[in-house]
């Protein structure tokens, strides 16, 4: 990987996340109390830490890059010398060939020192989760939207994947092809926050979608098609939306995920509650095209570690 591509993809994305999250905290805190100087100091410290980490990693990448170029030049000189010799008459071609062969045998590729490209400077705003919890929404599942294999609990707070299809009416609201169930509350304004226990499941999906998404045919989990969703696949592949967004790096696997929707600010963000509220991802800010519904998918029950339900958490008390 060229050093510049790492910088553009990872560092700039993390830098934008830090700025967005502190700006969000400042905006939300303004309703409660003046943000104060502390917030600016924390934001500056987080960006400075990211800049230092960027510099150190770029230096290592550049050093490895230079060493590889140097080795490449030596190798190409050796190849050019052998090619030049191959054009000579045989009696001249073999003069000094032993020395060339000895050099080629002694030459070997020195592998660069492995460099971790995982950023250690996370996006975390102390106190943000407490503010988000003041916008707690009583989200409940709508059984009429649930795919026929999904089993929704009586209190409409949990959903799990069942062993067989249930005999349910194929009403217009119900998803026909995918393991999806939606929340019952349409959202068209305001700020809303909820948390979902995903446990140690190896696959799941969470987020929001447009009220009028297609529920019978193929869907693509992208904002272009009305889905703002993050998902886990194969136990360790975290992704936002579809392949248009890069894989997410989460050092601590979330067992509980927070979802925050600020409709007027065009903000849909996700947080790792297991990691004390570190930021997972925020979709680019664009106006929402109509009313939204909470989205849940327990995916499939593959293996023993994927049978627990997705559970909407109660935020009435501190956990």
- Lowest-confidence pick of 149-158, 167-176, 301-310: 301-310
CA–CA separation, 226 and 214 (whole Å): 9
Pick the CATH number of 128-313 from 3.20.80.10, 3.40.50.300, 2.60.120.920, 3.40.605.10: 2.60.120.920
Q: What is the number of other CB atoms lying within 10 angstroms of the CB of residue 199? A: 16
Report how far apart, in Å, the C-alpha atoms of 257 and of each of 160, 230, 260 are. 17, 10, 10
CA–CA separation, 255 and 196 (whole Å): 9
| Selected residue with higher pLDDT from 123 and 27 | 27
- Lowest-confidence pick of 192-201, 237-246, 263-272: 237-246
pLDDT at 23: 78
pLDDT at 301: 67
| Selected residue with higher pLDDT from 250 and 102 | 250
Three-class SS of 153-164: CCCCCEEEECCC
Report the SS3 class of residue 131: helix
Strand partners, 151: 160
Nearest to 215 by CA among 145, 139, 117: 145
Tell whether the model's pLDDT for residue 35 goes beyond 60: no
Tell whether the model's pLDDT for residue 227 goes beyond 90: yes
**pTM for this prediction:** 0.71
Tell whether the model's pLDDT for residue 201 goes beyond 80: yes
Domain boundaries, the chain: 3-106, 128-313
Q: What pLDDT digit, counting tens, does each position of 69-100 carry? A: 776 777 777 777 677 766 776 666 566 666 66
CA–CA separation, 3 and 10 (whole Å): 11
Highest mean pLDDT among 45-54, 60-69, 139-148: 139-148
Report the SS3 class of residue 197: strand
Report the chain's C-alpha Rg in angstroms: 27
Report how far apart, in Å, the C-alpha atoms of 215 and of each of 181, 194, 198, 209 are. 10, 24, 24, 11
Tell whether the model's pLDDT for residue 240 goes beyond 80: yes
- H-helix or E-strand spanning residue 242: none
Residues 6+ apart with CB under 8 A from 186: 211, 291, 292, 293
Q: What pLDDT digit, counting tens, does each position of 14-23 carry? A: 767 777 677 7
- Lowest-confidence pick of 107-121, 136-150, 157-171: 107-121
Strand partners, 312: 196
């Amino acid at each position: 990987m060229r050093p510049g591509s790492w910088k553009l993809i990872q560092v700039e994305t993390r830098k934008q996340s830090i700025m967005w999250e502190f700006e969000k905290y400042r905006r939300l805190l303004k309703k409660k109390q003046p943000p104060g100087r502390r917030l600016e100091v924390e934001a500056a410290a987080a960006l400075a830490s990211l800049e230092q980490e960027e510099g150190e990693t770029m230096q290592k990448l550049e050093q490895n890059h230079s060493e590889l170029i140097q080795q490449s030049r030596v190798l190409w000189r050796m190849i050019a010398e052998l090619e030049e010799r191959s054009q000579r008459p045989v009696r001249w071609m073999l003069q000094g060939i032993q020395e060339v062969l000895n050099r080629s045998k002694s030459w070997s590729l020195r592998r660069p020192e492995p460099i971790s490209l995982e950023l250690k400077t996370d996006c975390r705003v102390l106190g943000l989760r407490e503010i988000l919890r003041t916008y707690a929404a009583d989200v409940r599942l709508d059984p009429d939207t649930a795919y026929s294999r999904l089993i929704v609990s009586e209190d409409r707070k949990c959903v799990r994947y069942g062993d067989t299809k249930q005999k349910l009416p194929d009403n217009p609201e119900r998803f026909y092809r995918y393991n999806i169930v939606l929340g019952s509350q349409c959202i068209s304004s305001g700020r809303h926050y909820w948390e979902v226990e995903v446990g140690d499941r190896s696959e799941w999906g969470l987020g929001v979608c447009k009220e009028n998404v297609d529920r019978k045919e193929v869907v693509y989990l992208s904002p272009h098609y009305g889905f703002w969703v993050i998902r886990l696949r194969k136990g360790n592949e975290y992704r936002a939306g579809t392949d248009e967004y890069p894989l997410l790096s989460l050092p601590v696997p979330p067992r509980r995920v927070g979802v925050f929707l600020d409709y007027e600010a065009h903000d849909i963000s996700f947080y790792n509650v297991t990691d004390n509220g570190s930021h997972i991802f925020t979709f680019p800010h664009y106006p929402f095209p109509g009313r939204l519904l909470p989205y849940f998918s327990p995916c499939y029950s593959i293996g023993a570690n994927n049978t627990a339900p997705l559970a909407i958490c109660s935020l009435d008390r501190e956990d």
